[in-house]
Amino acid sequence: MKSRHKRIAIIVAGIALLAIAATLLLQSFQSNLVFFFSPTEVIQGKSPSKGNFRVGGLVEAGSVKRDGTKVAFKITDTANTMGVVYTGILPDLFKEGKGIVAQGAQGADGVFVADQVLAKHDENYMPPEAAEALEKAKLNQTMKGEVK
Amino acid sequence: MNPVIGHYALILALFVAALQAALPLAGLSKNNEKLFAFAAPMARIQSALIIFSFLILTYAFYANDFSVYYVAVTSNSHLPLIFRLAAVWGGHEGSMLFWVTILAVWTLAVTFFAKELPLRFRSSLLAVMGLLTVGFLMFILFTSNPFDRIFPAPFDGRDLNPLLQDPGMVFHPPLLYMGYVGFSVAFAFAIAALLDGRLDVTWARWTRPWTTAAWVFLTLGIALGSRWAYYELGWGGWWFWDAVENASFMPWLIGTALIHSLAVTEKRDAFKAWTVLLSICAFSLSLLGTFLVRSGVLTSVHAFATDPSRGLFILLFLVVVIGGALTLFALRAQSVGLGEKFDLVSRESFLLSNNLVLFTATASVLLGTLYPLLIDAMGMGKISVGPPYFDTVFVAIMVPGIFLMGIGPIASWKKASVPDLASKLKWALGISIISALLVPSVMGRLSPMIFVGLLMAFWVISSVLVAIKTRLKAIPGNDVVKKFKTFGPAFNGMLLAHFGLAIFIIGVTMVKGYEQEYDITMHSGETTVINGYDFTFKGTLPVTGPNYKSKQGQFYVTKDGKEIDLLTPEKRYYPVQGAVMTEASISINPVRDIYISLGEELEEGGWSIRIYFKPFVQWIWLGCLLMGLGGLLTMVDKRYRLKKKVTNNESAAT
């Protein structure tokens, strides 16, 4: 009888431990999800004002300004454009007119402060997020056109 | 040599592989022993055909045969020979052919080294491997034929992605594939055991070195990939929790669980159903990894040109293999049985907890990897899971596991005593705590994570020593050297692998805790003092490589007037693809790396430069190497080569 009680206690403790672990796991998971927004959505205020998120689009031609290791540039989904600043070394494939994804948070002045800039490793490759942003903007424009 | 021959060889291999699968399975259901005899010869013919076809493709690369479309898009006549040969697996089609070639190599090995298994079991094992071969060959022939021609043949090829033009490309994929595909043997073994409804201890013993071999390859392959990313990608990271990395890490975690669970099955005839399940999971995750990387659902360095029909095919294959295997498991697991009982405090229990920890860790990685894909597939937007999730969750799950890892090897089988374990390990715990506090005091900073990391590392090291001491005590006699010699490779290998993990943990903890990063701008002739080192930039020199042009920075690193190193990071331009590549330059020593990479050339003639200090970073890969060596050592243990007599009863159909 005693050994049975012991076993039940162990099973209960095991389940409790598992439940705690699962809760912590999911909590950490939830708080580390980074959502993606297009410049248009950011300008419409759909992106969070606090915390990290990702934006993507094309680097606008002629918008890149360097000051030592500080870089300011604009990204566009062709419908809307937003400013991004980044300190550090940009990836090799960061070029004007090419797609990139930036991760960071919205600064007080509305400029996006990136702590990570991703451009992928292939010349013709467009980050899927950037591609989606362009797609969305295009879709919105055609829909507007139909309304008119 | 005509590439068409390679194509024909593949088609022929498909039919032979189908026979290799069908005949023994028919024999199994009809109880016809004669059909079993077909398995090995068919497997050998099929493997030879696939290897032949792989050689034909390799020759096309060697001979710059750009009439083969795949060669034309992944190679170039200016590419150095070694990279031309490595380019065989530098694209989608070739890497799939390479995958199936590795499967052929493993199959061939099974036909030669499985003599101690009963014919019936050996044949069903080969039949399962035949089924896998059929699946992959169909995939290659229907969606990804590497022998497709292009007319007229282009004058030259489009070149291998410059990022892949590195010695890492020569070794990383073969090792990784040997690991991935190696788990197919354990998988086939599990399925054969389920088909047979029995899991014999001798069979478990047979499969152990195979699984360990796959695990060793995977360990080394992942480590090599990590080291490659470290020096090639130019930002000094060694693990990014990128979905593709996770795809290789999950089979590794489950594979680690599996080699431990197999130990219990072999030694104690326990954990039987669990071992079978893990074998299925390890290979399923390998397949999932292949799917993630090759289907185009992920975009990364590893993703090649994508085609939805390929993704669909692999997904279908995945569903059939995993679904089929798990269904079979659900139906037949009972007949395999759970195995022997054991006490709550026993080595079995510790190994079981180890398995649960590794399983949970895998599940957490799987969640973080698949969730974004799922959300995307359902059209609910694009999200990504940040590395902090993996860092925190993974560490939190692994810490208790590593704590138990110190106790497991000391606990006795079946029933161990808690006071005994405590008295054996109290010194180990004390020394670990003191060391974990001492090191940060030397380094000048302590954080909870640093403490936990070092504590775990020292705990594993000191418990390895305790395990050696306990084993020495258990053997009668006074001659220590003589006693050492009785240990046997399996025990030594286990301890070496555990020690390797400790070295790995030290590397990770020190890098995470004490690395420093500086992004600065420097002009030619300038000297900057960082971290006690003087960096003098002497400008850049033009360098011409075989297929690129480069600007090579000249950095003299000195400390207290003593020259440390000349570092020469490069900015390379590959004209064929119009790609720019950053080549970092690293000064390596056992306790720290100094890592320099060039950013952009600025308008006023300066350069933006990134300098990292990475303490103990090499220990990460050294640790993996030791783990791999440990695994290798366990494989040479004599007991795996003892010929087991196969009695007629055992092989007779029931």
Contact (Cβ atoms closer than 8 angstroms) between residue B623 and residue B505: yes
| Nearest one of B73, B364, B244 to A21, comparing CA atoms | B364
What are the chain B neighbours of A54 within 8 Å (beta carbons)?
382, 384
Q: How far apart are CA B273 and CA B199, in angstroms?
A: 9
What are the chain A neighbours of B579 within 8 Å (beta carbons)?
92-93, 123
What's the pLDDT band for B645 if we cut at 50, 70, 90? very low
Please state, in angstroms and as integers, the Cα–Cα distance from residue B261 to each residue in B141, B338, B541, following that order.
37, 12, 56
Mean pLDDT along residues B403-430: 89
Collect all residues with Cβ–Cβ distance below 8 Å to B69 and sequence separation of at least 6.
B148, B149, B150
Residue of A nearest to B356 (CA): A18
* B478 against B23, higher pLDDT: B23
Mutate to test the interface with A, among B393, B582, B603 (most CBs of A within 10 A): B393
Mean pLDDT along residues B583-598: 93
The pTM of this model reads 0.90
Task: Note whether B388 contacts A92, CB cutoff 8 Å.
Answer: no
Contact (Cβ atoms closer than 8 angstroms) between residue B566 and residue B593: no
DSSP conformation class of B149: B
DSSP conformation class of B153: P
Report the share of chain B in percent with pLDDT over 70: 95
Q: How far apart are CA B169 and CA B182, in angstroms?
A: 20
pLDDT tens digits, B476-501: 888 888 888 888 899 999 999 999 99
| Nearest one of B295, B291, B253, B255 to B275, comparing CA atoms | B255
Alpha-carbon dihedral angle through residues B626, B631, B635, B637, given to the nearest 10 degrees: 70
pLDDT tens digits, B285-326: 999 888 777 666 665 445 444 566 777 788 888 899 999 999
Q: Is the pLDDT of residue A145 over 70?
A: no
What's the pLDDT band for B646 if we cut at 50, 70, 90? very low
Q: How far apart are CA B274 and CA B262, in angstroms?
A: 9
pLDDT tens digits, B167-213: 999 999 999 999 999 999 999 999 999 988 888 888 888 899 999 99
Collect all residues with Cβ–Cβ distance below 8 Å to B111 and sequence separation of at least 6.
B40, B43, B44, B47, B126
Chain B positions with Cβ closer than 8 Å to A: 161, 163, 234-235, 299-301, 344, 360, 364, 367-368, 371, 381-386, 388-389, 392-393, 396-397, 519-521, 577-582, 597, 599-600, 602-603, 608-610
Task: Note whether B577 contacts A123, CB cutoff 8 Å.
Answer: yes
Pick from A21, A32, A89: CB nearest B386: A32
Q: How many helices (H) and strands (E) does chain A have?
A: 3, 7
A98's tokens: 């090419």
Task: Note whether B389 contacts A92, CB cutoff 8 Å.
Answer: no
Contact (Cβ atoms closer than 8 angstroms) between residue A44 and residue A101: no
Q: Report helix angle B119-143 to B92-112, nearest 10.
A: 170
* Predicted pLDDT at B225: 92
What's the pLDDT band for B284 if we cut at 50, 70, 90? very high
> From the CA atom positions of chain B, what is the Rg in Å?
27
Task: Note whether A93 contacts B344, CB cutoff 8 Å.
Answer: no
Alpha-carbon dihedral angle through residues B164, B167, B172, B178, given to the nearest 10 degrees: 120
Task: Note whether A21 contacts B383, CB cutoff 8 Å.
Answer: no
Q: How far apart are CA B433 and CA B18, in angstroms?
A: 59
Please provide the DSSP assignment of B327-382 as one string. Answer: HHHHHHHHHH--B----SSSHHHHHHHHHHHHHHHHHHHHHHHHHHHHHHHTTS--
Q: How far apart are CA B224 and CA B212, in angstroms?
A: 18
How far does Cα B474 stand from its chain's mean position?
A: 36
Task: Note whether B382 contacts A93, CB cutoff 8 Å.
Answer: no
| Nearest one of B320, B280, B324, B319 to B186, comparing CA atoms | B280
Mean pLDDT along residues B365-387: 82
- Residue ranges of A 37-66 with Cβ closer than 8 A to chain B: 52, 54, 66
Mutate to test the interface with A, among B355, B382, B398, B612 (most CBs of A within 10 A): B382
Q: How far apart are CA B596 and CA B520, in angstroms?
A: 11
pLDDT tens digits, B500-526: 999 999 999 999 999 998 988 899 889
Pick from B367, B386, B519: CB nearest A88: B519
* Predicted pLDDT at B67: 93
Pick from A21, A25, A87: CB nearest B519: A87
Q: How far apart are CA B12 and CA B5, in angstroms?
A: 10
Contact (Cβ atoms closer than 8 angstroms) between residue A131 and residue A99: yes
Report the amino acid identity of residue B110.
V
Mutate to test the interface with A, among B355, B384, B577 (most CBs of A within 10 A): B384
What's the pLDDT band for A126 if we cut at 50, 70, 90? low
* Predicted pLDDT at A146: 46
Mean pLDDT along residues A20-38: 83
- The verdict on A68 touching B (C-beta cutoff 8 Å) is yes
Closest CA–CA distance from residue B518 to any residue of chain A (Å):
9
Mean pLDDT along residues A81-86: 91
Mean pLDDT of chain B: 89
* Predicted pLDDT at A129: 66
Q: Is the pLDDT of residue A134 over 80?
A: no
- The verdict on A19 touching B (C-beta cutoff 8 Å) is no
Pick from A21, A34, A69: CB nearest B386: A34
What are the chain B neighbours of A125 within 8 Å (beta carbons)?
299
For chain B, the structural domain boundaries read: 1-165, 166-388, 417-515+622-627, 517-616
Task: Note whether B382 contacts A87, CB cutoff 8 Å.
Answer: no
* A142 against B196, higher pLDDT: B196
Q: Hunting for tokens 């050689």 — which residue is that?
A: B55
What are the chain A neighbours of B393 within 8 Å (beta carbons)?
24-25, 28-29
* Predicted pLDDT at B300: 47
Task: Give the H/E segment covering residue B604.
Answer: none
Q: Is the pLDDT of residue B627 over 90?
A: yes
Closest CA–CA distance from residue A145 to any residue of chain B (Å):
24
Contact (Cβ atoms closer than 8 angstroms) between residue B396 and residue B434: no
CATH for A36-147 is 2.40.50.140
Mean pLDDT along residues B571-581: 86
Please state, in angstroms and as integers, the Cα–Cα distance from residue B364 to each residue in B140, B220, B395, following that order.
32, 23, 11
- The verdict on A32 touching B (C-beta cutoff 8 Å) is yes
Q: How far apart are CA B166 and CA A9, in angstroms?
A: 56
Collapsing DSSP to helix, strand or coil, B325 comes out as helix
Q: How far apart are CA A72 and CA A114, in angstroms?
A: 10
The dihedral sign for the CA sequence B276, B277, B280, B283: negative
What are the chain A neighbours of B597 within 8 Å (beta carbons)?
89
Task: Note whether B388 contacts A33, CB cutoff 8 Å.
Answer: no
Q: Hunting for tokens 């990395």 — which residue is that?
A: B245
* Predicted pLDDT at B6: 95
Contact (Cβ atoms closer than 8 angstroms) between residue B125 and residue B20: no
What are the chain B neighbours of A36 within 8 Å (beta carbons)?
381-384
Q: How far apart are CA B45 and CA B15, in angstroms?
A: 11
Q: How far apart are CA B62 and CA B495, in angstroms?
A: 44
For chain A, the structural domain boundaries read: 1-33, 36-147
- The verdict on A13 touching B (C-beta cutoff 8 Å) is no
Q: Report the DSSP beta bridge partners of residue B570.
A: B552, B583
Q: How far apart are CA B227 and CA A112, in angstroms?
A: 33
Number of other residues whose CB lies within 10 A of the CB of residue B334? 10
DSSP conformation class of B324: H
Pick from A24, A29, A122: CB nearest B367: A29
Residue of B nearest to A120 (CA): B300
pLDDT tens digits, A43-73: 888 888 778 888 888 888 888 888 777 889 9
| Nearest one of B558, B556, B515, B555 to B533, comparing CA atoms | B558
What are the chain A neighbours of B584 within 8 Å (beta carbons)?
none
A135's tokens: 């797609």
Task: Note whether A89 contacts B367, CB cutoff 8 Å.
Answer: no
* Predicted pLDDT at A15: 86
Furthest-apart CA pair in chain B: how many Å? 85
Task: Note whether B386 contacts A132, CB cutoff 8 Å.
Answer: no
Mean pLDDT along residues B378-403: 86
* Predicted pLDDT at B629: 97
Q: How far apart are CA B73 and CA B158, in angstroms?
A: 5
Mean pLDDT along residues A103-126: 74
* Predicted pLDDT at B346: 87
CATH for B1-165 is 1.20.120
Pick from A54, A92, A128: CB nearest B582: A92
Cis amide leading into B152 (omega within 30): yes
- The verdict on A146 touching B (C-beta cutoff 8 Å) is no
Task: Note whether B163 contacts A29, CB cutoff 8 Å.
Answer: no
Contact (Cβ atoms closer than 8 angstroms) between residue A30 and residue A64: no
